[in-house]
Chains A and B, each alone.
Chain A
Amino acid sequence: MSQVTLTIDGKEVTVEAGTTVLEAARKAAIDIPVLCYHPELRPEGACRICVVEIEGARNLPASCVTPVAPGMVVRTNTPAVREARRTNLELLLANHPQDCFTCERNNNCELQALARDLGIKKVEVKGVRRDLPLDKSGFSLVRDPNKCVLCGRCVRVCSEVQGVSVLDYADRGFEAMVYPPLKRPLDQVACVNCGQCATVCPVGAITERSDVDRVWEALADDKNHVVIQVAPAVRVSIGEELGMPPGSITTGKLVAALRRLGFHKVFDTDFTADLTIMEEGHELLERLENGGVLPMFTSCSPGWIKFIEHYHPDMLAHLSSCKSPQQMFGALAKTYYASKAGYSARDIFVVSIMPCTAKKFEAARPEMNSSGVADVDVVLTTRELGKMIREAGINFAALPEEAFDEPLGISTGAGVIFGASGGVAEAALRTIYEVVTGEELKELDFTAVRGLKGIKEAAVTLKGRTIRIAVTHGLKNADNLLKKIKAGEADYDFVEIMCCPGGCIGGGGQPIPVDREIREKRMSAIYAVDRGMELRKSHLNPAVQELYKTFLEKPLGSKSHELLHTHYQERSRV
């Protein structure tokens, strides 16, 4: 790559050719304000907040779409630049509902931050406000088009990262807005509820559907025995949501906070992640031995499940029949745990804390009621849990470390790595190796499947049989991989697929903002938790062993099929 030298605010900067002026300025420690730009998406040049002066240019170019040129002289902080940015922002603000007090994104809003940073002194109050209906049709997300600033980030993440393309601009001029196709409500289009649009939206125009009030109500009702499960990725992100640095490991404080919120039992989805390995690992071995459909795809990511149901229904037979750990937990909490603790399924109220918006949809799927009632009653995202903790006035950072309750709170390091892309494959390998060879696995870290690379591959030979594994995350990557498999260009036995970039640590319910660096920090926190666990292989989990001994009998047994496995359905593409 050739290098280009230019001058930005009097300083010489050398960057690779093809870099934009915006990125070059960032390298020189100059933060040009942006709104539609997002570091992980193709720049669009829609908002013109990032304008700069470039010598010889007639007007003020948008720096996010202007490539550097040799000898270019850029000024980012002149009266004309500041004035133009302010004017562009004022136009947006004049049409924007000023609902900050009651907005989901109050205090974490890029529009608010810009108003502060660009020194907006007054907002035209008589701007034209539109009064568009909110889309509350789905279980996972709410769209408030009135707050939309038409930055197009959601459009781009949905197509570029997720390959779903269910959002786009429609209409023109003043009427222009981002909509699902034919302006249908979100629950009637092929949206997978991943929430990636919500994590890149700079404002409060796409947010999760809030279920916080339902949890407060359940906690206030004496008739309920309220139990909570916490997904692997939440322990490395709830601290971040509450103001700690990204990658903070807060397992013990999280448990303590949940007890203070009033949950009767604080359990761990890691327990059913271990259980998933037992069931899914045996399912894979069975498919390998009996000529079943291969490759087998993992089934713990509900955004991915809905994606394959809509876009590759011809491949549904490849999906493992295992429910996700969240749903296995719900089914067991209302059967196994209920009878142990002397409750009926109806007495128990199951809340999940998930890094994920698609989990809300998953819990509402009609087939997820193996206990006779909904197995999981309410799903909250990491962000919603943060709200509850703030509302309750809990000083999170000052909490002591507490331990999960038994028995559904006992887990291994193999369970926690479900939270990062590659974790399910690695956890499965740790168990399958020992089940098949009968020998102890000494080297537990399968680093080939870790990290943020889009497609990761590994092969392990067990008793003369080589098992070929692929791991992918982000649905666009998954889509490409599926097309290759269909075309016969790729051949695997086992494929781990997570809907969100980086896996659950990058889920649509996780703290905002997120970028590659933050994902890396959350990811290494996950592996640090794994290293610190006494047990790191799912089949060694004593609570899982006990569960099989006294209740399920054996992996893939009839009780397992009744409670822990599920089926899928073809869904329309539009």
Chain B
Amino acid sequence: MKAVEKTAVLTSGTVPKESLEILQKYKGGKGALIPALQELQANFGYLPEPVLEEVAKHLNLPLSKVYGVATFYAQFHLSPRGLYVIRLCTGTACHVRGSGAIMQKIRSELGLKPGETTADGRFTLEPVACLGACGQAPVMMVNDDTHGRLTPEMALSVLESYK
């Protein structure tokens, strides 16, 4: 998790008030953990560290467990997400058709490692195992739009259109 930089705003011990309000609805115990994390993420767009600490306290669970669950499921994010989430398929079909080169291009052009968000908060790069559109490989989604049969250059101009 490259959460460190991005969550700096919230790591200084300040717990957003809403998180406390949201947590009031949940009782202690493991069963409440995932729904609570989902609602908190829906509210903040991601799960800041102080919020995770609050979850542990409120649900009376070890912080290590809360952190473990938050990092295990792909649906949870520990750093803020960009306005546009680039989901580049790295599944076999896409890989064979050159998604690796596209990944390289995006990484160097945007200065991003997988999982990171650009400093201007515009793009988050997220490799995914398969988007289920192998016929159009290599495929990339930007938010809800699918773009297929890409080359590295085409991928860049697609991204250009979201700027």
Contact = CB atoms under 8 A, between A and B. Distances in A.
A129 interface: no
A267 to B, nearest CB: 40
Given A170-B72, A181-B63, A574-B63, 5 more contacts: A169-B68, A170-B64, A171-B72, A179-B64, A183-B67
A87 interface: no
14 contacts: A165-B62, A165-B65, A167-B64, A168-B67, A170-B64, A170-B67, A171-B1, A172-B74, A179-B64, A181-B56, A182-B52, A183-B67, A574-B53, A574-B63
Nearest to B11: A182
Contact of B62 (A168, A172, A183): A168
A169 B65 CA distance: 8
Nearest to B67: A181
Nearest to A165: B62
Give the interface size bracket for A toward B.
10 to 19
Interface string A399-411: 0000000000000
A312 B2 CA distance: 33
A166 B68 contact: no
A170 B69 CA distance: 7
Tier of interface size on chain B: 10 to 19
A170 B63 CA distance: 11
A166 B52 contact: no
A172 B75 CA distance: 12
Interface in B41-77: 49, 52-53, 56-57, 62-68, 71-74
Nearest to B129: A173
B52 to A, nearest CB: 7
A52 B78 CA distance: 40
Interface in A144-191: 159, 165-172, 179-183, 189
Contacts, number: 47
A384 to B, nearest CB: 28
Given A574-B56, A574-B63, A183 B1 contact: yes
A181 B72 contact: no
B71 A181 contact: no
Contacts of B63: 181-182, 189, 574
Contacts of A171: 1, 71-72
Contacts of B64: 165-168, 170, 179-181
B67 A172 contact: no
B136 to A, nearest CB: 25
A177 B19 CA distance: 28
Contacts of B65: 165, 168
Interface in B16-53: 49, 52-53
Contact of B68 (A168, A189, A573, A574): A168
Q: Identify the interface centre among A165, A182, A189, A573: most chain B CB within 10 Å of its CB.
A: A182
B53 to A, nearest CB: 5
A483 to B, nearest CB: 12
Contacts of A172: 71-74
A385 B52 CA distance: 42
Nearest to A176: B72
Contacts of A189: 63
Nearest to B64: A168
Kindly name the residue among B1, B62, B74 whose own CB sees the greatest number of chain A CB atoms within 10 A.
B62
B107 to A, nearest CB: 17
B67 A182 contact: yes
B35 to A, nearest CB: 20
Contacts of B1: 171, 183
